[in-house]
Amino acid sequence: MTDELPWPFAGRVAGLIAGEYDLAGSYHFDRLVETLPDVVATASVMVSESTGLELPGAPDVAVVSRREWVDRNIGGYTKLVGDALPAFRADEATPAEVISRRLVVTEVGALLGFLSKRVLGQYELVLPTEDDADSIAFVGGNILSMERSNQFSPADFRMWIALHESAHRAQFVGVPWMRSYFRGLISEMIEHSKSNEGRLGRMYTRVRDARRASEPIIDERGLMGFVASPAQSEMLDRVQALMSLLEGHGHFVMDRIGERVLSSQGRMSAILNNRRNDPRVQALFRLTGIEMKMKQYDEGEQFIAEVERLASLAVIDAAWESPESLPTLAEIRDPEAWIRRVG
C-alpha cells in the first residue's frame, strides 16, 4: 500500500510552536479587528491610483490568530510538499525511508509554526492562496507585537502593512491572469518533479547527509533541490523571476506611497528590511523549493527602479499585459533588455 504522510502531526507541531501573543485576546486586538477594514479600504484606493491596476472595491478583511493562520495555510503547503515528494509503497520501504519522510513532515510543521510567529499579512510571502475569494488576512498578534516592540505609531504601521498587502492584492486581483498563471507554474513544476527519475535516492541521501552534519533537512535549495533535474532549471528561473518582479514592485509601490503619507515610513522600512535579512524568514521558500534569497528581493526592487530611470514607471504596465510580457530572470538582471523587448 502507498504510505500516507502524517500531515496532521505537522499541524500539531506548527500549533505548538506558534503559541499566541499576550495581547491577542485583549481590547487592543478587538480594536485592530474594528479598524483594519477601513485602513485597507483607504490603502486599496491609494494603490489602485498609484499603479493604475483596477480593483473591485475593498476586499474582505480578516484578523486571525497564529493558529488560525496555520490552519488556513497548512492544507495548501502540505499538498505542495506532499506532491513534490516521491511516492513509495510502505510495505516495501525500509525503516530509513519511512523515517526520512516523517522527518520532512516534522520540519514542515516546525517551519510553518515559525512563520506563523512572524508573518503580518497573507501576502507577506508573495504566494496566492488556493482560495479565489478577494480577501486579506492579517495575523493580529504579530502586528501588535511589532508595534509594541518597535514603538511604531499604530496608525502609521497599520496603514503601511495595509499598503503592502494591497499592492500584492492588486497584482493578483487587478491582473486577471496572474493568480492562475502563478498556480500553473507551481503545478507544472510539481508535475515535472513527479516524473524525475532518481529523485527518491537523492532525497534519502540528502536526509542522511543532513542528519550526519546536523543541518536542516530542507535547506535553502528547497525540496525541489532534492529532486530537480536539469530540465527543471528553466521553470525554476521563471518562478524566481516572477516572484522577484512581484516583490520588487510591491515594495516599490508601498514605499513610494508611504514616503508621501506616513511620517515614520523610513524607520519602519529599515526595520522590516532587517527582518527579511533573517535566513529563517526564507522558510516558506524552502518548502516550495524556490530559492528566494535577499539578493532576489533586491534584484526585483532594482529592476523596478532601473526601469523608471531608463524609461518611466509607466513602462512596468507592459509586464501586466500577458505572461509573455513578464521579464525573464536574465531580464530582471538586465532591465534594458526587457525594455527593448516589450517596446
- For residue 273, pLDDT over 80 is answered with no
Give residue 34's pLDDT.
93
Residues whose CB falls within 8 Å of the CB of residue 260, separated by 6 or more in sequence, listed in order: none
Q: Of all helices (H) and strands (E), which one includes residue 9?
A: helix 7-18
In a domain, 1, yes or no: no
Q: What pLDDT, in 10s, does the model give residues 77-108? A: 666 555 555 554 555 556 666 666 677 777 77
Residues whose CB falls within 8 Å of the CB of residue 323, separated by 6 or more in sequence, listed in order: 177, 181
* Range(s) of the domain holding residue 78: 7-342
Distance (Å) of CA 88 to CA 43, 75, 82: 49, 21, 12
Give residue 298's pLDDT.
81
Collapsing DSSP to helix, strand or coil, 101 comes out as helix
In a domain, 200, yes or no: yes
Q: What pLDDT, in 10s, does the model give residues 242-272? A: 988 998 999 899 999 999 999 998 899 888 7
In a domain, 44, yes or no: yes
Which of the listed ranges 18-22, 45-49, 86-90 does the model predict with the highest average pLDDT? 45-49
Whether 156 contacts 265, CB under 8 Å? yes
> What is the longest distance spanned by two Cα atoms in the chain?
63
Instruction: Output b/e per residue, 252-279; b: 16+ Cβ within 10 A.
Output: bbbbbbbeeebebbeebbeebeeebeee
Whether 297 contacts 303, CB under 8 Å? no
Provide the mean pLDDT of the chain: 79
Rounded to an integer, the average pLDDT of 116-139 is 77
Q: Of all helices (H) and strands (E), which one includes residue 264?
A: none
In a domain, 2, yes or no: no
Rounded to an integer, the average pLDDT of 52-80 is 82
Q: What pLDDT, in 10s, does the model give residues 304-319? A: 999 999 999 899 999 9
Give the total number of structural domains in the chain.
1
Rounded to an integer, the average pLDDT of 7-20 is 80
Least confident stretch, 26-40, 96-110, 179-193, 286-300? 286-300
- For residue 339, pLDDT over 60 is answered with yes
In a domain, 307, yes or no: yes
DSSP letters along 134-152, please? -EEEEEHHHHHHHHHHHT-
Give residue 313's pLDDT.
86
Collapsing DSSP to helix, strand or coil, 25 comes out as helix
User: How far is it, in rounded angstroms, from Cα 244 to Cα 170?
Assistant: 16
In a domain, 129, yes or no: yes
Q: What pLDDT, in 10s, does the model give residues 199-257? A: 556 566 666 777 777 766 555 445 555 555 556 667 777 888 898 899 899 989 999 99
In a domain, 163, yes or no: yes
Give residue 289's pLDDT.
47
In a domain, 251, yes or no: yes
